[in-house]
Structure 1
Amino acid sequence: MAQFDSSTSIMPQVIISAQQLTQSIQVQQKTLTIFENLNLNIYAGEHVAITGRSGSGKSTLLGILATLDQASSGQLWIHGEAVHDLNEEQRAAIRLKHIGFVFQSFQLLPSLTALENVMLPARLQADFNYKSAEIKALDLLQKVGLSKQSQQTPKVLSGGEQQRVAIARALMSEPKIIFADEPTGNLDGDTAKEIEQLLFSLNRELGTTLVLVTHDPQLAAQCQRHFELKNGQLFETVKQQIEAEAKL
């Protein structure tokens, strides 16, 4: 359901559109269908949760939406570009231009400082400039509350601090979409809540679209929309639709 702004009569922009997505794999000469004919539209600037039991395929779906993997069949558009028609090199360009990632396991390079880890996406840009990238990375570290830890390596940072570095890194290329796969799964309760609030506050401040996979029903309930992947089908929780509309 689109979120309609009645004050301006402008429908929000669809930034991710998935149509008839099906993912199947071969297991011992048999075809296992993980999900089939999924349809999903996600709108610019909103935050969306995808939940489901372990093994339901939610991380697989996230990987396809993030262009890390390809569906067996179906169509996917990211910011108006037909990803299903692109090769791997072209999909990588889409990721570099439009997408940031936050993972459960942080995936920081242990030999690099927090600052150097945050700067990594900028190094992939054709117009990379060290000084401007450094300034931008320091600003992002300040936004996530780690300006004093910029020269520390991951091994001396707490789990919550490492995830903050990962969030700053995800924002380095100014992506339109942040995909987060169990972003609080490796954190204790209090730290998890801090990371959740940080993700939502940055979503509001920077206008990025946030799509997250989580086992945590409380985290999912904070999102504007909540989808559950169950028995190979995607169901939107009506309660979240009503609550999201009530906030407009």
Structure 2
Amino acid sequence: MVQTDSTPSIMPQVIISARKLTQSIQLQQKKLSIFENLNLEIYAGEQVAITGRSGSGKSTLLGILATLDQASSGELYVQGEAVHVLNEEQRALVRLKHIGFVFQSFQLLPSLTALENVMLPLRLQADFHYAKAEQKALALLKKVGLERQSSQTPKVLSGGEQQRVAIARALISDPQIIFADEPTGNLDGDTAEEIEQLLFQLNRELGTTLVLVTHDPALAAQCQRHYELKDGALFEHATRIEARL
């Protein structure tokens, strides 16, 4: 009798599902289509890059996937929740529960210290506790290599240090998904490389899903999946085998 492995295979969890997403804008008497009928599934824990020429709509798509904006039509599910039927207040709760953001321009509040900037998302939670939030923020600053800069304000931090603070802030609420919009666009080459590797390291260590928009094909090639938005449609590129390991 031949024995077979009865261990059930584990299917990857779909954490974001987009179905027939369409986005258009009205310009005077003409409707301009940015993209039409996009379908995309993103799995828990993976790294996905979206590229495209300037004006292709890649940041618009990221904003919709991140629930910051609404598509003209189509369906969007985040952690199984039908986001496309929610109002802004309800979408904000989805973001608070599941999503962290890293922006090209850092988006730090200049009057707050690095520690206070990292703690900020927790202040939006009903069960905010200062001492616990402070302890968690300090631990994240240590993880991104900025424990000693916790009391400094953004104006005395370098661009790379500011982005590290922004990454720590994105992680403070334990999100399942990190959206990064051109996270290295304002950084020099060496600093950009450090930030890229930090994002991938945290993706592996924490198991978060990483979705990033970038103009850098080398960065996109390091992700497990790479999509290009071109002429209103998504095209998947082949990526390096080692990026999937």
Give the TM-score, by structure 1 length: 0.94
Whole-angstrom CA distance in 2 between matches of 1:230 and 1:157: 37
2:241 to 221, 229, 243: 243
Q: Show the 5 A alignment for 1:127-166.
A: 127-166=127-166
- 2:13 maps to what in 1? 13
Letter of the aligned partner of 2:171 in structure 1? L
Q: Which residue of 2 aligns with 1:4?
A: none
Alignment length (residue pairs): 239
What do the CA deviations read for 1:141-177 (whole angstroms, capped 9, x no partner)? 0000000000000000000000000000000100000
CA contact (8 A) 2:23 2:72 kept: yes
User: Aligned partners of 2:244 and 2:202: how far apart in 1?
Assistant: 18
> How do 1:1-248 and structure 2 match up within 5 A?
9-237=9-237, 239-240=238-239, 243=241, 247-248=244-245
Q: Identity rate of aligned residues, in percent? A: 82
- The C-alpha deviation readout for 1:110-134, integer Å capped at 9, x for no partner, is 0000000000000000000000000
**1:86 Cα shift?**
0.6
Q: CA deviation at 1:88?
A: 0.6
Contact 2:223 2:244 in 1 (8 A): no
> Which has the greater radius of gyration?
2
Helix, strand or coil for the counterpart of 1:106? Answer: coil
Q: Secondary structure at the match of 1:25?
A: strand
- TM-superposed CA distance for 1:27, in Å, is 1.1
> What is the letter of the counterpart of residue 19 of structure 2?
Q
Q: Which runs of 5+ in 1 are unaligned?
A: 1-6
- Structure 2's unaligned 5+ residue stretches are 1-6
From the superposition, tell whether residues 192 and 19 of structure 1 become closer, same or farther in structure 2 (CA, over 3 Å). Answer: same
State how far apart, in whole Å, the 2-side matches of 1:234 and 1:247 are.
20
Instruction: Report the equivalent of 2:4.
Output: none
